[in-house]
Amino acid sequence: MRQPSLKWLLVSRLVTLQACIIAIIPLIITVTLWSTGYLLDDYEGASLDVLAEAVERDATGGLALRETPALGSLRANAPDLWFAIRDREGHRLQEGNIPPAYLPAIAMLDQLSDARLSKQPELAGKPDAVIKWVDSPAGRIQILTGTKGQMSVQRLARGMSGGLISLILPVIVLVALTTSLATPLVVRRALAGLRRTVEQAAHIEFDKRGTQLQASDMPVEISALVGAVNDALRRLDVGYERHQHFLAQAAHELRTPIAILNARISTLPAGSDRRDLLEDAARLTTLAGQLLDLQRLDQKRDHFLSVNLTAMAKQVLFDLGPLALGAGYEVSFEPEADEVLVIGDHTSLERALTNLVQNAIDHGGRQGTICLRVGKDHFVEVSDEGKGVAWDAREQIFEPFNRLGPNGRGAGLGLNLVREIMEMHGGTVAVVNAGSKGACVRMTFPRTGIADGEVQTT
């Protein structure tokens, strides 16, 4: 379901509100006039309106009066009703006792257009009689009549609806167009600060603590939300620090009993039990190192130095070679150059490569060769001849706590830690072959320039 746009939501609500206000104004004016009695007592066109609706043509084309309900009501309320009606063709219609004072006006209707007649012109208010050209079912006619009666509710409603269509509707359209153009500009300007805050939020990373969103230059209603988000970020920072502190403490506490365990295992006689115990102790040592690495990963970015991948790989293989040989593997080391230099943290990169070799020992099937290769194009890869990695699992294995098999004895952090370390160095780690001929995992580093022992990042 599409999320509503704030600016168009405001436009629709504002246009609706303005239309209601504009439509209510005539109603308020009408109610006010009605309450003051103007429409009841001072309206001078009541008889004129009723007569104009009742006039029609007879069979000969003359003027006739149709007895409408409104005319019947007028006759009942004004028994002395009188009028004189004519058209431009000279047809006339007259009824009632016309006051003698207005008889001359009847003779002069041809020379008159519209007029208000009163026996006492000096008095303000409704006149005694009116002369007016009006439209009727019989066409354009001129009526002379008294000002008896009051405005009906039906006529008032028709007048209001006609005014709404002819006058108010264009105003509503004009206001709607103005609002539709102005509101997006106003909203865009009012929320300019929010767009900057959104850009800040897009760059928040879990390992960048102390980040706060900018709350200035935005409406108070939204700044309250930003303040709540900043409070949440501060609480997350505190929780992250506690988490990191726990990892560091746990790793340090584990190292001592692991060292004691390794010393005791070393005193056991050679055999399969001693070999299995050494492998288990090596995994514990690796896990403790992984916990320490997770805690200090984000503290190494500013301390990168030149690292010789060939020398580092040789040292890792020297440390883990006996473990691999004892597990039934052959070991191969294939450097393409004596020096392949990259920029990074030696300890973290050594830990990453150690994890890959340890992973090959755990999942290589205890047969074949574990090969460690260093390429001139700034990569290191570790391959084995085990069952390999399924093609659809080549990305999943780098997720935290993901084990290659249901019987894996690791914590599922090794390959994830490798990916974290490589991302910290601007590089990548990937399974470069996937199938039944074993797994090959490659760490690829960005290209750097090294000259005369000086590190130059390019």
CATH number of the domain encompassing residue 436: 3.30.565.10
| Buried b / exposed e along 169-189 (16+ C-beta atoms within 10 A) | eeebeebbeebeeebbeebee
pLDDT surpassing 90 at residue 308:
yes
| Mean pLDDT confidence for 30-58 | 75
Q: Where residue 164 falls among pLDDT bands split at 50, 70, 90?
A: low
Co-location of 33 and 178 in the same domain: yes
pLDDT surpassing 80 at residue 243:
no
Among 20-24, 58-62, 371-375, the range with the most confident prediction by mean pLDDT is: 371-375
Q: Where residue 74 falls among pLDDT bands split at 50, 70, 90?
A: confident
Asked whether 143 and 115 are in contact (CB, 8 A), the reply is no
Compare 176 and 362 and report the one with higher pLDDT.
362
pLDDT surpassing 50 at residue 210:
yes
pLDDT surpassing 80 at residue 39:
no
Per-residue pLDDT, 450: 44
| Mean pLDDT confidence for 277-293 | 74
Per-residue pLDDT, 213: 82
Co-location of 404 and 427 in the same domain: yes
Asked whether 290 and 355 are in contact (CB, 8 A), the reply is yes
C-alpha distances in Å from residue 323, one per residue of 222, 368, 435 = 60, 14, 26
Co-location of 115 and 132 in the same domain: yes
| Mean pLDDT confidence for 428-453 | 75
Give the mean pLDDT of the chain.
79
Q: Is residue 412 part of a domain?
A: yes
Co-location of 384 and 305 in the same domain: yes
C-alpha distances in Å from residue 314, one per residue of 85, 214, 364 = 121, 49, 20
| Mean pLDDT confidence for 357-361 | 90
Compare 247 and 373 and report the one with higher pLDDT.
373
pLDDT surpassing 70 at residue 107:
yes
Number of domains in the chain: 3
Per-residue pLDDT, 453: 40
State the virtual CA torsion across 151, 157, 159, 165 in degrees, nearest 10.
Answer: 170
Co-location of 343 and 432 in the same domain: yes
Co-location of 308 and 446 in the same domain: yes
pLDDT surpassing 80 at residue 372:
yes
Q: Is residue 263 part of a domain?
A: no
Q: Where residue 458 falls among pLDDT bands split at 50, 70, 90?
A: very low
Co-location of 67 and 96 in the same domain: yes
Among 20-29, 30-39, 428-437, the range with the most confident prediction by mean pLDDT is: 428-437
Beta strands in 33-178 (DSSP E): 55-57, 63-65, 83-87, 92-95, 115-117, 129-136, 139-146
What phi and psi values does residue 144 have, to the nearest 5 degrees? -115, 120
* Domain extent at residue 344: 300-457
pLDDT surpassing 50 at residue 142:
yes
Asked whether 417 and 351 are in contact (CB, 8 A), the reply is yes
Q: Is residue 288 part of a domain?
A: no
Per-residue pLDDT, 456: 40
Q: Is residue 202 part of a domain?
A: no
pLDDT surpassing 50 at residue 285:
yes
Co-location of 138 and 120 in the same domain: yes
Per-residue pLDDT, 454: 43
- For residue 345, give the DSSP letter: -
Q: Is residue 258 part of a domain?
A: no
Co-location of 32 and 62 in the same domain: no
Compare 270 and 322 and report the one with higher pLDDT.
322
The encoded tokens of residue 408 equal 């894996």
| Mean pLDDT confidence for 418-426 | 88
Co-location of 118 and 182 in the same domain: no
- pTM of the complete model: 0.45
pLDDT surpassing 50 at residue 32:
yes
Q: Is residue 394 part of a domain?
A: yes
